[in-house]
């Protein structure tokens, strides 16, 4: 996805402000399977997915629990590191070869101090991430597994072709057997 589209989707900026952000971003590539963020590490960058798909997960006992998927246009951020400069609780794995836009957090923080438009863009960025987290929490509390699966397909229509079913089942909070039943019922 084009960088201008990603920036504008968060919050439209005047040209000079947008160019200041773009000048601070570098493009990078990592292969499928790369661990972009590691648990218990302060992450110093945020990323935006130009091409590819990723997942965030945490461990419960010996199981990986997937709690987020990101695809083209989505940010990849450890909010605990971004907001509080603290160690994150998640690992982020690239599920495909990925092309990413990387923005160093300290550079973005400096831009916030220099440009009120960029500061507002950063505020909107965090607000969108908060809303996504809140929607996910509410869905887990109130929606059935079938409803969560339908929402996942609506928001990420290509996910079934791009992500292992084990990761999808984990994301939905169900077993792979239950996921198979849901998929059979929906077809």
The pLDDT score that the predictor gives to residue 62 is 84
The pLDDT score that the predictor gives to residue 114 is 97
Give the residue-averaged pLDDT of 65-88.
95
Write the DSSP assignment of 36-102 as a string of letters. Answer: EE-TTS---EEEEEEE--EEEEEEETTEEEEEEEE-TT-EE--HHHHHH----S-EEEESS-EEEEE
Give the residue-averaged pLDDT of 1-14.
95
pLDDT digits over 134-152, tens only? 999 999 999 999 999 999 9
The pLDDT score that the predictor gives to residue 187 is 75
Instruction: Report how far residue 36's alpha carbon sits from residue 150's, in angstroms, rounded to the nearest whole number.
Output: 28
Instruction: Report how far residue 101's alpha carbon sits from residue 48's, in angstroms, rounded to the nearest whole number.
Output: 5
Please provide residue 96's backbone torsions phi and psi, each rounded to the nearest 5 degrees.
-140, 165
C-beta of residue 83 within 8 angstroms of C-beta of residue 42 = no
The reported pTM is: 0.94
Report the CATH fold assignment for 3-141.
Jelly Rolls (2.60.120)
């Amino acid at each position: 996805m084009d960088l201008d589209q990603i920036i504008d989707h968060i919050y439209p900026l005047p040209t000079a402000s947008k160019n200041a952000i773009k000048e601070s971003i570098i493009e990078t590539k990592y292969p499928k399977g790369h661990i972009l963020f590691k648990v218990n590490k302060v992450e110093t960058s945020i990323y935006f997915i130009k091409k590819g798909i990723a997942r965030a997960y945490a461990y419960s006992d010996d199981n990986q629990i997937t709690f987020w998927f990101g695809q083209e246009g989505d940010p990849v951020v450890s909010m605990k590191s971004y907001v509080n400069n603290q160690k994150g609780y998640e690992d982020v794995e690239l599920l495909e070869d990925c092309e990413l836009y990387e923005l160093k957090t300290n550079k973005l923080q400096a831009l916030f101090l220099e440009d009120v438009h960029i500061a507002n863009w950063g505020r909107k960025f965090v607000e969108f991430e908060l809303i996504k987290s809140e929607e996910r929490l509410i869905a887990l509390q109130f929606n059935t597994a079938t409803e969560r699966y339908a929402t996942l397909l609506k928001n990420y229509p290509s996910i079934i072709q791009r992500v292992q079913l084990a990761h999808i089942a984990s994301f939905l909070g169900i077993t792979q057997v239950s996921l198979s039943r849901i998929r059979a019922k929906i077809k």
